[in-house]
Structure 1
Amino acid sequence: MATYEEVKDIPNHPDKYLIDVRNKSELAETGELPGSINIPLPELEDALKLSDAQFKTNFGRSKPAPDAKIIFSCKAGGRAARAANTAKTIGFANAKAYPGSWTEWEQKQKQ
């Protein structure tokens, strides 16, 4: 499981990935987590199976290597957990969920 502190530090670690699996309409309402890329959950498995070049074209970032550290977030943690399981199933060993996701992030940013 990823922590708020770990997610907050993502912009300082270009070797790590923060993937927000919320729908684009949700991001439009709330905004994005700094340093995250958006891949809605229904598109995640196909996106992680893209070629390196196609992933970079679609998401503006190199495709994560199978051993890359990937943190998934959503609104409240449920989809993030499913995303991490999906990623692990297709070979991304260091995938984990941010259980607090946007809900915790927003709360802690107001403090």
Structure 2
Amino acid sequence: MAQTDTKEISYEDLKALVGKSQNLFLVDVRTQEEIDKGRIPGSVHIPVDTVDAALAMTPEDFKAKYGVAKPQLDAPEVVFHCQMGRRGATATNKASELGYVNARNYTGGYKEWSEKGGK
């Protein structure tokens, strides 16, 4: 099986989208313990080991569980992140395999976001 190149997004690009883009679907794939210490505003918590199941849900079930609309497969800005990039890449690859053509990984993760003072 061919290794897919994970699409990535930088801190600067993500910062420009957070709070400004209606299309941004930002997924935090970290554990609840990590999220309790801080999170990127507007992110949706879907732990990395449940990303497959979450993205396979019907739009109705997804909204009921996560409180937000499930993104379309061609949604322009679907971004995954974790603490430092690895789990985010795993989740991004899963989403790509499920047909999310614009899925990207924020490689800096919450670690970089908080170090750079992202609010």
Instruction: Provide TM-score, normalisation by structure 1.
Output: 0.93
| DSSP-derived class of the 2:73 partner | coil
**How many residue pairs are counted as aligned between the two chains?**
109
C-alpha displacement of 1:25: 1.2
What percentage of aligned pairs have identical amino acids?
36
1:65 aligned to 2:72?
yes
Greater helix fraction, Structure 1 or Structure 2: 1
Separation of aligned partners in 2, 1:90 and 1:48: 8
Give the unaligned 5+ runs of structure 2.
Answer: 1-7
Aligned counterpart, 1:45: 52
Among 103, 111, 114, the residue aligned to 1:95? 103
For the aligned residue pairs, the C-alpha RMSD in angstroms reads 1.2
Separation of aligned partners in 2, 1:93 and 1:41: 19
Instruction: Provide TM-score, normalisation by structure 2.
Output: 0.87
Aligned counterpart, 2:91: 83
Q: Is the 8 A contact 1:7 1:18 kept in 2?
A: no
- CA deviation string 1:31-71 (max 9, x = no partner): 11111000000111000010001111111110000011211
Q: Is the 8 A contact 1:18 1:72 kept in 2?
A: yes
Letter in 1 for 2:13: E
Q: Is the 8 A contact 1:10 1:17 kept in 2?
A: no
